[in-house]
């Protein structure tokens, strides 16, 4: 297969307004850094706006654009997976379509990669412009909780914006899971990975496609994909509850010998409600893992490609 020096992979969902400027900025940067020897892989993740039509126009006008149209909206992480599957660069830059991650940083990231002999240069958000306090606070809390419960050291405050070498990407592509938390999977792969601090810009146009529900889902995928700590919660809780029940036993015996055994509606209700809450929580956690096991066991394709515009250089993976 013919390899290019650089692939820039951009998943897009309803980004019609931004696409022309995105192409202009990415193309200018790529030309300045590696000349013609690059490709821009745009993935249309089932957008409901004009994104696909604009991508086709870009692909018709610029032979370095490869536009991939997924069969429907598969979600950010799977759209990105499709692009990574189909790109053929020796170095791969992952970018968000909304220009929150400045493509112009490519040159500096390549310098860091060369200097540090790294396989992954991941961008760490120093500042986040134009995002709500709520989003910043929840994101920050999430990364810290995740760091505590997982065994894989997943870098804090890091999105998917990163530069990778082909061998790191191939290692990543060998991980088959359906529930994909890409920044964690890349961390799991290993090799030499170095941080690259940057200031995150505001969205160029449109609204975030990550409402709270999608963020929670990603968070669950992250925790369940990288840790079994929630499953161990039951055994930890049982030790604490055994201690508590021993104390209660002494208390009841004491009451019995003082001659007042029948009493304590309050304490009974307390024990019943606390215990059922704990049990429900544990059951829910088991259900969460079981559900994921079920989905993985179906072994469905990760994504389906409907159309491709532009040259297909990589093995034409259609997801199945």
Q: What residue 103 binds from Mg ion, ligand UDP, none (CB within 5 to 8 A, per partner kind)? A: none
Find the shortest distance in angstroms from Cβ 42 to Mg ion: 16
CB of 207 to ligand UDP, least distance (A): 7
For 281, the 3-state DSSP assignment is helix
How far apart (Å, rounded) are the C-alpha atoms in residues 38 and 31? 8
Residues at the contact surface with ligand UDP, assessed by CB under 6 A: 11-13, 15, 45, 73, 75-76, 79, 96-98, 100, 208-210
The span from the CA of 42 to the CA of 309, in Å, is 10
310 binds, among ligand UDP, Mg ion, none (CB under 5 to 8 A by kind): none
Cα–Cα distance for residue pair 122/124, rounded to 1 Å: 6
Q: Give the residue from 25, 18, 12, 20 showing the smallest Cα distance to 205.
A: 18
Binding site for Mg ion (CB under 5 A): 96, 98, 100
Give the nearest distance from C-beta 85 to ligand UDP in angstroms: 15
In whole angstroms, how close is the CB of 172 to ligand UDP at the nearest point? 18
Q: 10 Å Cβ neighbour count for 249?
A: 10
Given Mg ion, ligand UDP, none, residue 22, with its beta carbon under 5 to 8 Å by kind, binds none
Give the angle subtended at the CA of 129 by the CAs of 123 and 130, to the nearest 5°.
Answer: 135
Nearer to ligand UDP, 11 or 184 (CB): 11
119 or 200, CB closer to ligand UDP? 200
Q: Where are the beta strands (DSSP E) in 213-312?
A: 305-309
Q: For Mg ion, give the closer residue by CB, 66 or 99.
A: 99
Query: Which of ligand UDP, Mg ion, none does 209 bind, CB closer than 5 to 8 A by kind?
Result: ligand UDP
Beta strand pairing call for 193-200 and 120-128: parallel
Closest distance between ligand UDP and the C-beta of residue 113, in Å? 23
Residue placing its CB nearer to ligand UDP in the complex, 13 or 226: 13
210 binds, among ligand UDP, Mg ion, none (CB under 5 to 8 A by kind): ligand UDP
Of 98 and 119, nearer to ligand UDP (C-beta) is 98
Nearer residue to ligand UDP within complex by CB, 62 or 131: 131
CA atoms in the 13 A half-sphere facing the CB of 24: 5
| Residue 62: strand, helix, or coil | coil
Q: Which is nearer to ligand UDP, 184 or 230 (CB)?
A: 184
- Burial class of residue 283 (count of CB atoms within 10 Å of its CB; 0-12, 13-18, 19+): exposed
Residues 6+ apart with CB under 8 A from 26: 8, 10, 40, 95, 103
Name the binder of 140 from ligand UDP, Mg ion, none, CB < 5-8 A by kind: none
Residue 75 touches which member of ligand UDP, Mg ion, none, C-beta under 5-8 Å by kind: ligand UDP
- In the complex, minimum distance from the CB of residue 105 to ligand UDP, in angstroms, rounded to a whole number: 16
Q: How far is CA 103 from the centre of its chain?
A: 20
Query: Is 168 or 182 the residue whose CB approaches ligand UDP more closely?
Result: 182
Task: Quote the least distance from Cβ 203 to ligand UDP, whole Å.
Answer: 6
CB 125 within 8 A of CB 200: yes
Residues 6+ apart with CB under 8 A from 319: 82, 85, 301, 302, 303, 304, 305
Q: How far is CA 35 from the centre of its chain?
A: 31
The CB-of-304 to ligand UDP minimum distance in angstroms stands at 15
Structural contact between residues 235 and 242, judged by C-beta atoms closer than 8 angstroms: no
């Amino acid at each position: 297969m013919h390899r290019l020096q650089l692939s820039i992979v951009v998943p897009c969902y309803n980004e019609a307004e931004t696409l022309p400027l995105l192409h202009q900025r990415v193309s200018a940067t790529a030309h300045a850094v590696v000349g013609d020897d690059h490709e821009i892989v745009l993935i249309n993740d089932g957008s409901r706006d004009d994104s696909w039509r604009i991508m086709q126009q870009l692909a018709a006008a610029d032979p370095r654009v490869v536009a991939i149209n997924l069969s429907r909206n598969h979600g950010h992480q799977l759209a990105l997976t499709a692009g990574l599957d189909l790109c053929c660069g020796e170095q791969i830059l992952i970018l968000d379509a909304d220009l929150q991650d400045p493509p112009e940083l490519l040159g500096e990231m390549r310098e860091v990669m060369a200097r540090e002999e790294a396989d992954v240069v991941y961008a760490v958000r120093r500042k986040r412009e134009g995002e709500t306090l709520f989003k910043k606070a929840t994101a920050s809390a999430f990364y810290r909780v995740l760091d505590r419960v997982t065994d894989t050291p997943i870098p804090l405050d890091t999105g998917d914006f990163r530069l990778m070498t082909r061998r790191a990407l191939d290692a990543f592509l060998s991980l088959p899971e359906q529930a994909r938390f890409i920044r964690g999977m890349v961390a799991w792969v290993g090799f030499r990975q170095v941080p690259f601090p940057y200031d995150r810009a505001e969205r160029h146009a449109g609204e975030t496609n990550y409402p709270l529900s999608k963020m929670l889902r990603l968070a669950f995928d992250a925790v369940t994909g990288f840790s079994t700590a929630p499953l161990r919660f039951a055994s930890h809780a049982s030790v604490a509850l055994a201690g508590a029940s021993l104390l209660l036993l002494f208390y009841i015996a004491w009451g019995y010998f003082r001659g007042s055994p029948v009493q304590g509606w309050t304490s009974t209700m307390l024990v019943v409600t606390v215990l059922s809450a704990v049990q429900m929580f544990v059951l829910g956690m088991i259900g969460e893992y079981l559900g994921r096991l079920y989905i993985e066991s179906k072994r469905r394709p990760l994504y389906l490609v409907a159309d491709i515009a532009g040259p297909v250089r990589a093995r034409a993976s259609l997801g199945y």
